[in-house]
Structure 1
Amino acid sequence: MTLDSNLIDELEQAMSNGDIGRRAKALRLVSDLFALGSGRFSEGHIKLFDQIMLSIVGRVEISARATFSQRLSSFPDAPCGTIRLLAFDEAIEVARPVLSLSGRLVQEDIVSNARKMSQVHLLAIAERAELPREVTDVLLERGDRAVAECAARNAKASFSDFGYASLAERSRDDVDLALSVWARPELPRLILVKLFVDASKAVQKQLEANDAHKTSIVRELVARASTQLLKQTRTESPVYLDASMDVMALHKAGELTQARLADFAERGDFYRTTTAISLLCDLPIELVEQILVRSNTEQLIILAKATDLTWPTTKAILVLGAQSDRTEAGAIERAFVTFTRLQLKTAMAALQFYRMRERAKPLSGAA
Structure 2
Amino acid sequence: MSAQTGLIDQLEDALGDKNLARRAEVLRKVTDLFVLKSGTFSEDQIALFDVVMSRLLENIESAARAQFGSRIARLPDAPREVVRLLAADAAIEVAGPVLAHSERIDVDALVDSAKTQSQDHLLAISGRKILAEAVTDVLVDRGNRAVVSATAQNAGAKFSEFGVSTLVRKACNDGDLALCVWSRPDIPRQNLVKLFVDASEAVKNQLVEADPRRADLIRSMVAQATDDIQTKARAGSNEFSEAQHLVRELNTAGKLNEAQLLAFADEGSFDKVVAALSLMCDLPVGVVERAFVQNQTEQIVVLARAVDISWATTMKLLLLHAGVNGSSRHQLDITFANFFRLQPATAQTALKFYRMREKANRPN
TM (normalized to structure 2)?
A: 0.63
Q: Cα–Cα, structure 1 residues 203 and 45, in superposed 2: closer, same or farther, change >3 Å?
A: farther
Contact 2:193–2:230 under 8 Å retained in 1: no
Question: Paired residue for 1:346?
Answer: none
1:142 CA displacement: 1.8
> Is structure 2 residue 355 aligned with structure 1 residue 287?
yes
Cα RMSD after superposing both structures: 3.0
Identical amino acids, percent of aligned pairs = 42
Question: Paired residue for 1:61?
Answer: 61
> Is structure 2 residue 217 aligned with structure 1 residue 217?
no
- CA distance in 2 between partners of 1:195 and 1:53 (Å): 49
Contact 1:122–1:139 under 8 Å retained in 2: yes
Match for residue 302 of structure 2 among 233, 236, 244: 233
Structure 2 unpaired stretches of 5+: 205-226, 236-270, 275-283, 292-298, 306-338
- CA distance in 2 between partners of 1:24 and 1:133 (Å): 38
1:116 CA displacement: 1.9
Structure 1 unpaired stretches of 5+: 205-211, 248-270, 276-284, 300-367
Deviations 1:128-152 (A, max 9, x none): 1110111111212222222111110
1:2 CA displacement: 9.9
- CA distance in 2 between partners of 1:152 and 1:203 (Å): 22
- CA distance in 1 between partners of 2:188 and 2:202 (Å): 23
1:21 CA displacement: 1.4
Contact 1:74–1:101 under 8 Å retained in 2: yes
1:201 CA displacement: 6.6
Matched letter for residue 188 of structure 2: P
Deviations 1:300-333 (A, max 9, x none): xxxxxxxxxxxxxxxxxxxxxxxxxxxxxxxxxx
Matched letter for residue 60 of structure 1: I
Contact 2:168–2:178 under 8 Å retained in 1: yes
- CA distance in 2 between partners of 1:193 and 1:7 (Å): 64
Question: Paired residue for 1:302?
Answer: none
Question: Paired residue for 1:251?
Answer: none
> Is structure 2 residue 187 aligned with structure 1 residue 172?
no
- Which deviates more from structure 2 when the two are superposed, residues 62-71 or residues 117-126? 117-126
Matched letter for residue 233 of structure 1: V
Question: Paired residue for 1:128?
Answer: 128
Matched letter for residue 181 of structure 1: V
TM (normalized to structure 1)?
A: 0.62
- CA distance in 1 between partners of 2:40 and 2:176 (Å): 45
- CA distance in 2 between partners of 1:213 and 1:10 (Å): 72
2:185 match: secondary structure: coil
Question: Paired residue for 2:250?
Answer: none
Contact 1:172–1:203 under 8 Å retained in 2: no
Structure 1 runs (4+) greater than 6 angstroms displaced: 201-204, 219-222
1:102 CA displacement: 0.2
Matched letter for residue 17 of structure 2: N
Q: Cα–Cα, structure 1 residues 182 and 26, in superposed 2: closer, same or farther, change >3 Å?
A: same
- CA distance in 2 between partners of 1:24 and 1:153 (Å): 38
